[in-house]
Structure 1
């Protein structure tokens, strides 16, 4: 597939590497608005490829990508693996349970070991905030953050933005190929904000694109200082939903709670679960999102999650492969000697 920017894209973004000058992708916080839009535009071509019968290109042929996951994952790992293979790269998955980390090896020693294997890109998922940046500082190849502690999950924020842009285009509210942002949209993110790196990346990404972001959770699950990020906190879900154009539900991360923070799943659903009746408080055509995995009947009812005309949850999964293909493509252009990037 031709990765040469179109004339319209050339008008929208700086030329060559200036369109995306970063070696790594460790967080949305490091990106300018036009850099986010550039990655979304780059991903659009991969959306089209992934919908074809033949979903393969040799763009990254000869390159090796290591997916080093120190935390369990299904959809993120699978998505990165599919993305790398569809681009023609050799993809190696490293699971911490099978690595020397279990034998006491430090994260820095692991980084040095991975670097010695001459990978062309390393995708990192780790339970400690800042771990991906630590590894990025020790290796010679691009590093992509697949989630680090409670810090960020940048490709999730990007794929959510891409899914939302696709859905808005289908609603006739703007062309996905135009330099459109989310100005005028009110987006409510509800759930376990405190433990959610997805929430942080989405707050940064959506606000960079002009959206107004509301956050809703029980008091114990609302982190301090969200106002400093530009988001508006709520503890009343009904009030937070009032007139919202998009409702993004988050999973309760019970593995990080140790039985604290909420009285029970049933009580949580009563106050913060998204039901058809509660969704009526949002805008009439409000879109429903969830990064997954879903706890059906807790944060969201099945009949809401499966609404064909409102839910874009499966689209989020689809866009995840395209975004990760775009990120792998862009971050390896220097290594591949792409004109204007080396």
Structure 2
């Protein structure tokens, strides 16, 4: 029996595939990915952006391949990065073959829009020859004409049928190394489509609310839709689609997974909203700490609470904590217990130092355990 059953998430059982060396599905951690927005033919700019995404924690990165030059550029890109690269392919089957030959780990494709059965077979053979997986990407904004005419509008049934029809094309070519997405900008439509698809097959699912909007609105919208699915155990890899710096997509994705206890990376800050009881400026303190602690990848928790109403209780549940006190002197908690006091003027530097030391100690313990 779980100690806290109300927190348990029972993930849907799916088959497992690999995107390069990253497992997706089965019991693998939910992979976080984003997509570059540089011109793929600008290799230096694309590699630089991928490196930034890697630093932010990206497990997988997708790159557009709209033309032959972009597909060939993957050869130089793949050699200079560490994460597996997904080639984003639309319509032209040759781009898929070229991307596979250039080192793509996965092809994002709709088998139904790349031409004849023979062309599909050629793409599948290229994927097999070069160890590529695939993603069938269904989007409410680009459903097949026949489905729109039959259903009258984009709906969950049409999206699931599209995904399964495309899956059948790959299955008929003896190819099963793929995942599926059924994205929509409408939260209700996307969630309903994913729920139905999760019931209809055991393939790993790539979650996303497409065209979600800017940083704030898109984060909220994605968190509602994807959070509901993840809480229900649905989803094996995620991409938060934001009209913002792609690095923000990775940050939001991890925050979403951390909130649900599905992935832990970096410092999770528990902080109170602003109110008149605070013994120091909580808002600016948290903003500064988020920036100063962004380099920490070790999972740990930090509570930043402005007063003694909830501070001690929150501190008991976190690795490190600060509770605001009177006269500019605040209590620092270590391992859930009050440890020492710190003045407002020295608080930021002191907390950063404590977190860095705690993270280093955790990593040292990991090394010690692995050596035993």
TM class by shorter chain equals under 0.3
Determine which structure has greater relative contact order: mean sequence separation of CA pairs < 8 Å that are 6+ residues apart, divided by chain length. 1
The TM-score with structure 2 as length reference comes to 0.24
The TM-score with structure 1 as length reference comes to 0.25
Higher Cα Rg, which structure: 2
